[in-house]
Amino acid sequence: MSFSFFKALRPKTPQEVAKSIKESFMALDTKTVVEVKALEKALEEIEKNFATMRTMLSGDGESEPNSDQISQLVEEICREDVLTLLIHKLPILGWEARKDLVHCWSILLKQKVECNYCCVEYIEQHLELLDFLVVCYDNKEIALSTGIMLRDCIKFPSLAKYILESASFVLFFKFVELANFDVASDAFSTFKDLLTKHPDVVSEFLNAHYDEFFDLYEKLLTSPNYVTRRQSLKLLSEFLLESPNTQIMRRYILEVRYMKVMMTLLRVFVANPNKPRDVKIILAKNKEKLLELLQNLSPGKGSEDEQFEEEKEFIIKEIGKVSV
């Protein structure tokens, strides 16, 4: 029996796994992939390597993963620039390979090597990868996969901060209203995480980009899509009521241009006897704050609009009745 047979049975080392993944990706860039069979073979090799990586990171169901091997694999993946390849080649991967990648992605990001999140640090040095993941919402074939990967990234304050402040962030105001419901819903989940996971980061962002952000957000609150309006109002109450955003909330609610939008939405919600339970919860949970803000609304700002004052009194009365 040949030596190569025993070699084939020997489990790959972390270094070999990282190298194999890189080589299989590089094969996609060769001229031979213009042939369909060559491309299929290259993609099959990637799929096999991903399965091997998944087993090394998660175990095989019978044995637990080896922590030392995981650490070595993470280091090699970063050293060999495999993370860049994983993201940039994602659009051409098959469904099975994408599924394994999404599973491995979360483990890779959370893995510490000597107290450092190596993969997070790698992304911090290659922030364009985050922009690429955001733009992938325009590709419905991979949007749900990249959405999960983005939300894993957003768990880390430094990565969330970059996305908020990047030019690609404004694309979320488009993505949350895409015609494809599944993609739009996923984009809204990512949008929500960006605005709620790290209150201090969000507060800093809102203070620096107040006008730009709320001008865009107002379009969501007045969207012709009822679901978008309702979700946006609920999200608004969540991040504005975070303690670091107290001053931002008061500034926002006391601006007539925004208050009129809020009043219109609140009027629809409180007047609806069959209002959704989540809306009732929002109103009940924030009853005292909403009443205080409405009652203390400067007469000088509201008295110019008689209808506005009438609606304010109606909403104050109706909110006072709300209970869950």
Give the pLDDT of residue 6: 43
Question: What is the residue-level pLDDT of the chain in tens, covering all 324 positions?
Answer: 444 444 455 678 989 999 999 998 888 776 555 676 777 888 898 999 999 999 999 887 777 888 899 999 999 999 999 999 999 999 999 899 999 999 999 999 999 888 889 999 999 999 999 999 999 999 999 999 999 999 999 999 999 999 999 999 999 999 999 999 999 999 999 999 999 999 999 999 999 999 999 999 999 988 999 889 889 988 987 888 788 988 888 788 667 566 666 666 566 666 665 555 655 666 676 677 777 767 766 545 444 566 667 777 777 787 777 665
Other Cβ atoms closer than 10 A to 225: 13
Could you identify the residue written with the tokens 């005292």? 288
**Which residue ranges make up each domain of the chain?**
10-125, 269-323
- CA 94 to each of CA 85, 142, 302: distance values in angstroms, whole numbers, following the listed order: 15, 10, 58
Q: Among residues 258, 276, 270, which one has the least CA distance to residue 322?
A: 270
The identity of residue 180, as a single letter, is: N
Burial of 39 (0-12, 13-18, 19+ CB in 10 A): middle
Cβ density class 240-261: b for 16+ within 10 Å, e for less? bebebbeebbebbbeeeebbeb
In degrees to the nearest 10, what's the CA dihedral of 213, 292, 297, 299?
Answer: 180
Give the pLDDT of residue 60: 78
Architecture of domain 10-125: Alpha Horseshoe (1.25)
